[in-house]
Amino acid sequence: MFGKYLDKLDGLLDKLSMYKLLIYYLIGLLAVAIGYSAFGQIHFSPIEIAGSALFLFVVCWLVNQIFYRTLRVPANGDSTIITALILSLIISPGLAIDNLLFMTAAGGIAIASKYLLTYRNKHIFNPAAFAVVLTAYAAHQSASWWIGNPHMMWCVLIGGLLLMRRIRRTEMVLSFLAVSLAATALYAQFANTDVMTTLHNTIFSSALLFMGFVMLTEPQTSPGTKQNQVLYSILTGALFSPRIHLGTIFSTPELDLLIGNVFAYIVNPRISLQPKLLRKLNVTPDTMDFEFKPDKKFDYKPGQYMEFTLPHEHTDLRGQRRFFTLASSPTEETLRIGVKFYPNGSSYKKTLAAIDGQSLLGATNLGGDFTLPNDKQRNLVFIAGGIGVTPYRSMIKYLLDTNEKRPVTLLYSANTAEDIAYMDVFEQARNILGINVNYTLTRQGAQLPDSRFKAGAITPELIRSTVPDYQNATFYVSGPHGMVVAIEKALRQSGIPLHHIKTDFFSGYA
């Protein structure tokens, strides 16, 4: 029962890009804060809160316009709005001259850092955190993180949980919160202060939740793999307590985050591409492959993803950015993504379908753990539904090009035989590498062309009959969210341990 509600929630959240959801979340926090201030629960006035937010937005927008027109690079409107909203929630509201000068400096520095403080076109530090650190040391004006107060705590928590669910960074956020609280309790014990009071104040009256849900998870400046994300969270969590200091320099949330950004920069590949379209290929009736020539060489693992930014007018709620798994193999000279198109699709998909070799497209944020294991003898089972087959095309093409034989079984489910993508690669792998390839067709009455095809969905019975020694295999599951959840549940019920199941999914809303 609970799973059904989660599926409905995921369906609603997936209609929004993570950036749009974050914008609505931050605006909602400001609206709630204005409501509390109207009743005297927050000591800033409604005019101060709203006026400061509007002023920061204007500053950030103007500075962004100057840079993108001067440098002739695409402007990212969502990023500018997010930066302005974050600053409005961590800098004390006020319309006095000193406040306006502080906000002007912070907004200007934050936006400028996105263009100037970069490596390979990617900014190194969280822009808002960098701005308030610089103003603190250069102008002695610090962020108060006023959003961390008891009245706002529940709103920050509820919205943050929704955001965490949408971006699938649960381990990252929970690791940060757990380590922060543990470290805070330890420092309080050493200082002979009341531990429970200190923890209560940290949860209800500090930057902890806002930093964990909003600042820490910023994709441009955090690692792209789960292992590094957890290490990043542990580091920032351990340094979160304000009791930590080096001489006269005490830890603050923004300084803590910048230290974490340095760690992320070291362990995470900084890739920023401007790929040029070479060709578009129809691989199924509603799926198209886009093949690009990258403007520079870079390394990635088969099965990883990148974030593709496609500036376009009349952007809908899904935004201008989208994550796609690279269907290409690192052994190929081109990049390839497979995209499924739906009737009445998003503005992004409509623009993508019409791009040509002159279209401006950016690719960043390489990441993902849905990759081949180091153990080449490990029995692997690839389960795919629909366009969720793209990471397997990448992996199997890599195995073909390197002539690397592994014990692999592919179970690929589609509506009809015409909906099977990349069959040429999979059949070549069957013939050359001995990969066990199986296709299942779920549409009732779908014609089965030959013995390679079976009717119906992928079931535990099919897995047991197809996969030798399935209880000792590692399962990869990729496809629509409902399918991934159902198969993961079936595998667990069949005795497969959780650490032998790797899941990925592709939203049906696009």
| Strand 380-385 with 474-479, pairing | parallel
DSSP-derived letter for residue 92 is: P
Name residues whose C-beta falls within 8 Å of residue 72's C-beta, 6 or more positions apart in sequence.
none
Residue 454 token pair: 């079976």
Distance CA 82, CA 106 (A): 14
Report the predicted TM-score, pTM, of the whole model to 2 decimal places. Answer: 0.82
Pair 163, 109: CB distance under 8 Å: no
Q: How many residues does the chain have?
A: 510
What does the H/E/C string look like for 370-417?
CCCCCCCCCCEEEEEEHHHHHHHHHHHHHHHHHCCCCCEEEEEEECCH
Give me the pLDDT at residue 507, please: 45
Pair 101, 88: CB distance under 8 Å: no
The gap between the terminal CA atoms of the chain, to the nearest Å, is: 27
Distance CA 435, CA 405 (A): 8
Using N-to-C axis directions, what is the helix angle for 97-116 and 127-138, rounded to 10°?
130
SS3 278: strand
Measured CA to CA in angstroms, residue 218 lies from 282, 349, 442 at distances of 34, 24, 39
Helix%, strand%, coil% for the chain, nearest 5 = 50, 15, 35
Distance CA 189, CA 166 (A): 36
Measured CA to CA in angstroms, residue 429 lies from 125, 329, 438, 476 at distances of 43, 14, 12, 18
Distance CA 41, CA 39 (A): 6
**Residues linked to residue 284 through DSSP beta bridges, in sequence order:** 287
Pair 381, 476: CB distance under 8 Å: yes
Distance CA 178, CA 173 (A): 9
**Stretch (H or E) spanning 218:** none
Residue 50 φ/ψ, nearest 5 degrees: -70, -40
Distance CA 114, CA 128 (A): 10
Q: What is the dihedral of CA 375, 376, 381, 384, to 10 degrees?
A: 100
Residue type, 198: T
pLDDT (tens place) for every residue of the chain, 510 residues total: 555 666 677 777 777 778 889 999 999 999 999 999 999 999 899 999 999 999 999 999 999 989 877 876 655 678 899 999 999 999 999 999 999 999 999 999 999 988 887 766 667 899 999 999 999 988 888 899 999 999 999 999 999 999 998 888 899 999 999 999 999 999 988 888 899 999 999 999 999 999 999 999 988 888 888 889 999 999 999 999 887 777 777 788 999 999 999 999 888 767 888 899 999 999 999 999 999 999 888 889 999 999 898 888 888 877 788 889 999 999 999 999 999 988 888 888 999 988 988 887 888 888 888 999 999 999 999 999 988 999 999 999 999 999 999 999 999 999 999 999 999 999 999 999 999 999 999 998 888 888 889 998 898 888 888 887 888 899 999 988 888 888 998 899 888 998 999 988 554 333
**Stretch (H or E) spanning 198:** helix 195-204
Pair 484, 477: CB distance under 8 Å: yes
Distance CA 311, CA 418 (A): 32
Strand runs labelled E in 276-340: 276-284, 287-293, 305-309, 321-325, 335-340
Looking at the chain, the number of H-run helices and the number of E-run strands are 17, 17
Q: How many CB atoms are closer than 10 A to CB 120?
A: 12
- Over the Cα atoms of the chain, what is R_g? 25
SS3 181: helix
Give me the pLDDT at residue 76, please: 65
Residue 110 φ/ψ, nearest 5 degrees: -60, -50
Residue 48 token pair: 């101060």
The residue whose two tokens read 């390197």 is: 402
